[in-house]
Amino acid sequence: MTAEEFRQAAYEHIDWIAEYFESVRQLPVMTNQSPGELIRRLPAAAPENGESISDILADFKSGIFPALTLWNHPRFFAYFSVSSTPPSILADLLASALNVNAMLWKASPAATELEQVTLNWLRQWLLLDEQWFGIIYDTASVGVMQAIGAAREWIAPECRVKGMRAGLTVYVSEHTHSSSEKAAITLGFGQENVRKIPVDHNFRMRADLLRDAIEADLAAGKTPCCIVASIGSTSTAAIDPVDAIADIADHYRVWLHVDSAYGGSAAVVPEMRPIFKGAERAHSLILNPHKWLYVSIDCSVLFTRLPEIFRRASSLSAEYLKTGEDDQVINYMDYGVQLGRRFRALKLWYVFRFYGKEGIVGMLRESLRLAQLLKSLIEADPNFEVLAPVDLSLVCFRHRSGNAVNRRLLAELNATGQAFLSHTVLHGKYVLRLAIGNFQTTEGDIRGTWSTITALAKGIAATEPALSEA
Ligand code: PLP
C-alpha cells in the first residue's frame, strides 16, 4: 500500500467513524445475531490472495458491524457503561501506527515517561500524595492478580523461590468482582483460601465479620495475606467501609487492595472525593480509565505505595533486556508479568488534555445527575422499586411483580434495540441494572429508556398477570 493509498483508505475509515458518531443514537444497541451465525457466513479459510481495503471495509459495514453490540452507544447501560471518545480514538490510531513497545525506558523513552506524567496527573486529581506510583495494565483483572502477587511477596517472600505457602488467605466480600477470586486461583492460593465476607443491607463488606474471619484463620494456623475492598462493586456499586477495613489491615499487617475499577473515577469530582476515604491507606488500588474516564478499552491504572514490592514480585532480568540506564529510569516490564506493553499513556494524555480536568468532572457530574434523575423517576412509580443505594451512576431496580416479570421485562427491553441493560440478583430478587457513563448519554436517553421500560411493563403485567409473585 503506498502512502497515498493509505491516506485515501484512512480517510474512508475516519469518515465512517464520524458518521457512526452522528448516527449512533438511531442504531440498535444490541445485535439480534444468533450464536454461530457470523462464523457460518464467513469463509472457513483465509484468502489465498490479498483483497482491497475497500472490499474489506464494505464487508465490515455489511457483515461485521451489524453483528456487534454497540458498547460505544449512549444507551448502552449494561455492565458498566464505557466511552471511547474522539481524542482517545485518535491517540490509539497514532499508537498503532508507531507500534512502540513500552516495556523498557530505552525501548521507547516517551512511552515510559508519558505514562509517568499522565499517571502523576491522575494521582493529583485523586488527591493521593507523591509516594503513589502508577502503572498501566490492560485490565483490572490482570492488575488485581499483580496486586495479590505483590501481597504474597510482602507476606511470604519465600514463595518466589520455593513455591506457594499453604494457608495464605485472601479476603473479599460476597460482592467483590470475580477477578479477585480468579487471581487467587491463578496464583495458587486455592479457592478454599478465599474468604467471602458477608455484606450489610447496603451490600458493603461487614468490617466486623472481616475481623472475625481473620481471627478465626489465625487461630486455625492460616496466614492472612490480602484484603480486597471495593469502591463501586459490580452488582450494586457498593462502597465498602475502606477506612474501617484499613484499620484491620494495619492491625493484622495484611495487604489492602482497593478495587475502584469503576467507582474510582467519581473521586476526581471534588464533592465525591469522600468515597475515597481510606483508599489512601491501601497498599494498592485500581481505577479503570477504560470504564468511566473516557478512554478506550483497554487501559487500567494501578497505583501502589509499595512499588518495590511489585518489582520484587515481578522482575526477572534477562541479559538481553539489560540497558545502560536501568538504575536511573523506570522499566515498566519490571512491575508485571507482561514484557510487551502497548503505548496506552498516549490516549490518557490526549483525553486529559482535550477535556481538561473541568471537562472530565463535568461529564462525570452529568452521569451522577442522570442516575439521581432515574432514581427519582423509579421512586415516583408505585410499580417499581430501587434495590440499592444510588451513590454513583448505577441504578438497580425492579418491577414489584417478581422475578419472572423482571426477566421478561429485561429480555423485551433489550430486544427493542433501544437500550441494553444487564441484571443481577440481590437477596434472591432478579434486579435490572442501568449503568450510566457514556459521554454521549443525555437526559433524553434516560427519560426515553424509562418510558420504554414502563410501557413494556404495562404490557407484560396485562398479558401475564399470573406471573406476579411475591
Ligand atoms: N472490578 C470491578 C468492580 C468491575 O466491575 C470489573 C469489571 O466490570 C472488574 C474489576 C474487571 O475489570 P476488567 O474488565 O478491566 O478486568
Is residue 234 lining ligand 1, measured as CB closer than 6 Å? yes
Closest ligand 1 atom to Cα of 80 = 8
CA of 146 to the centre of ligand 1 (A): 14
CA of 140 to the centre of ligand 1 (A): 6
Q: What percent of the chain has pLDDT over 70?
A: 99
What would the mean pLDDT of 376-381 be, rounded to a whole number? 98
CA of 177 to the centre of ligand 1 (A): 7
Domains (ranges, CATH) in the chain?
1-30+69-85+358-470 (3.90.1150.170), 100-343 (3.40.640.10)
What would the mean pLDDT of 77-91 be, rounded to a whole number? 97
DSSP 261-325: TTGGGGGGSGGGGGGGTTGGGSSEEEE-HHHHSS--SS-EEEEES-HHHHHHHH----GGG--TT
Taking only the tens place, the pLDDT of each residue in 4-40 is 999 999 999 999 999 999 999 999 999 988 999 999 9
pLDDT averaged over the chain? 95
Under 8 Å between Cβ of 126 and 264? yes
Closest ligand 1 atom to Cα of 234 = 5
What would the mean pLDDT of 387-405 be, rounded to a whole number? 96
Is residue 438 lining ligand 1, measured as CB closer than 6 Å? no
Question: How many whole angstroms separate alpha carbon 292 and alpha carbon 368?
Answer: 11
Is pLDDT at 293 greater than 80 in this prediction?
yes
Is residue 331 lining ligand 1, measured as CB closer than 6 Å? no
Is pLDDT at 274 greater than 80 in this prediction?
yes
Closest ligand 1 atom to Cα of 176 = 3
Nearest CA to ligand 1 atom 14: 139
Is residue 262 lining ligand 1, measured as CB closer than 6 Å? yes
Is residue 240 lining ligand 1, measured as CB closer than 6 Å? no
Closest ligand 1 atom to Cα of 138 = 15
Closest ligand 1 atom to Cα of 263 = 3
Is pLDDT at 379 greater than 80 in this prediction?
yes
Q: What is the pTM of this model?
A: 0.95
Under 8 Å between Cβ of 235 and 434? no
Nearest CA to ligand 1 atom 12: 140
Question: How many whole angstroms separate alpha carbon 374 and alpha carbon 289?
Answer: 24
Is residue 177 lining ligand 1, measured as CB closer than 6 Å? yes
Query: What Rg, from alpha-carbon coordinates, does the chain have?
Result: 24
pLDDT at 465: 57
Is pLDDT at 182 greater than 50 in this prediction?
yes
Report CA-CA distances (Å) from 190 to 125, 169, 185, 227, 450: 37, 9, 5, 15, 43
Is residue 261 lining ligand 1, measured as CB closer than 6 Å? yes
Is pLDDT at 220 greater than 60 in this prediction?
yes
Under 8 Å between Cβ of 218 and 224? yes
pLDDT at 149: 98
Mutate to test the pocket of ligand 1, among 178, 291, 394 (most ligand atoms within 8 A of CB): 291
Q: How many CA atoms lie within 13 A of 99 on its CB side?
A: 1
Is residue 424 lining ligand 1, measured as CB closer than 6 Å? no
Question: How many whole angstroms separate alpha carbon 377 and alpha carbon 319?
Answer: 63
What would the mean pLDDT of 358-387 be, rounded to a whole number? 98
Closest ligand 1 atom to Cα of 232 = 3
* Burial class (CB within 10 angstroms; exposed 0-12, middle 13-18, buried 19+) of 196: middle
Nearest CA to ligand 1 atom 9: 140
What would the mean pLDDT of 161-165 be, rounded to a whole number? 95
Helix (H, G, I), strand (E, B) or coil at 352: helix
